Amino acid sequence: MTGKGGTGKTTVAAALALALAAEGRRILLVEVEGRQGIAQLFETDALPYVERKIAVSPGGGEVHALAIDPEQALLDYLDMFYKLGRAGRALKKLGAIDFATTIAPGLRDVLLTGKACEAVRRKDKAGWRTYDAVVMDAPPTGRITRFLNVNDEVAGLARIGPIYNQAQAVMRVMKSRETAVHLVTLLEEMPVQETVDGVAELRAAGLPVGGVVINMVRPVILDSEAVCAAANGQRTAVAKALSQAGLGGARRGGHAERLVDPLLAQAHEHAERVALERRERAELEELGLPTYELDLLGDGVDLGGLYRLAENLRKQGLGVA
């Protein structure tokens, strides 16, 4: 799940994980940017670098969460492949881990995506996959292609060797049919522009684009025709109606009459926004991708709201197995 900053991609990623967890499935929700956004959403303490159950879904499913930290992932990786327990810690003390994870963003990204891919492929003793799906709260749209396309990123740095191999393995998962990159947007100019650019980049890199989730959709209460009608010719009638509804006198200078101008000003802004949203929606449609819409939750997203969003996604077919 990617999206421009501020579009609510963490929220949508969490809602998708909950939606997928319905019907008794087991989902892992991972975050990679060290923001602890998941913990805040689920109202729990900061997530450690350990997978832990953070929510259950109505059908008995489970959402587990993991905050992937690049340093820890590197130590994990060293441990897994080289049994470097103590030497790993020594490297860390020297600043080597810091070095490796910061000097080349490509290396850091291989570690982050590598950990997620490991969770995707992990199997239990009986040979079943540990998780039915892994949802990643990924970096923003502007960086998503570089982030997922680790192969290109490390190509210049590691042409052979273990890091190269790791990158290859990650790419196999990322480009497979098991992966879908969804983009979250708002019906505003900048987020839509970034979405359109992001989709083009993902497609050029051969990464599988899923759908577009339009978040925080606000209801259309009046369209511009209605506002125009109200402002022209109908002002008196509107004042009268307001007066009938008990809001004061409709005569010039009366309480109800004085409401007309400010209410119309608001309506005009609303109509302008509705028109803008229509244009943005049309631009998104040109992408030819499935779109899903989530209504704005006026009072911010609490846990209850998150479950409602999940339900809403499922109704629209996203997060249904």
- Which residues 189-208 are close enough to bind other proteins by CB under 8 A? 189-190, 193
Return the closest-CA partner of residue 303 out of 38, 21, 59: 38
The pair phi, psi for residue 2, each rounded to 5°, is -125, 180
Q: How far is the CB of 32 from other proteins (least distance, A)?
A: 12
With CB under 8 A as the contact rule, the residue among 276, 278, 289, 311 that binds other proteins is 276
Determine the Cα–Cα distance for residues 119 and 76; give it in Å rounded to an integer: 13
Site for other proteins contains 266 (CB under 8 A): yes
Q: Binding to other proteins by residue 128, rule CB under 8 A?
A: no
Question: Which residue, 264 or 289, has its beta carbon nearer to other proteins?
Answer: 264
Least distance CB 170 / other proteins (angstroms): 16
Binder among 264, 281, 291, 307 for other proteins (CB under 8 A): 264
Q: Looking only at residues 75 through 104 of this chain, which bind other proteins when binding is defined by CB under 8 A? A: 78, 81-82, 84, 87, 91, 94-96, 98-100, 102-104
Site for other proteins in 297-316 (CB under 8 A): 298-300
Nearest to other proteins of 98, 311 (CB atom): 98
Does the footprint of other proteins cover residue 251 (CB under 8 A)? Answer: yes
Pick from 272, 282, 317, 320 the residue near other proteins by CB under 8 A. 272
Per CB under 8 A, 226 contacts other proteins: yes
Sites for other proteins among residues 206-225 (CB under 8 A): 221-222
Q: Which 159-178 residues touch other proteins, going by CB under 8 A? A: 159-164
| Contact range with other proteins by CB under 8 A, out of 171-179, 208-216, 244-252, 312-320 | 244-252
Interaction of residue 19 with other proteins, rule CB under 8 A: no
- Give the number of residues in contact with other proteins, rule: CB under 8 A: 85
What is the Cα–Cα distance from 108 to 100, expressed in whole angstroms? 7
157 in contact with other proteins (CB under 8 A): yes
Contact pattern from residue 22 through residue 51 relative to other proteins, giving x for each residue in contact according to CB under 8 A and a dash for the rest: -----------x-x----------------
Rank residues 211 and 254 by Cβ distance to other proteins and give the closer one. 254
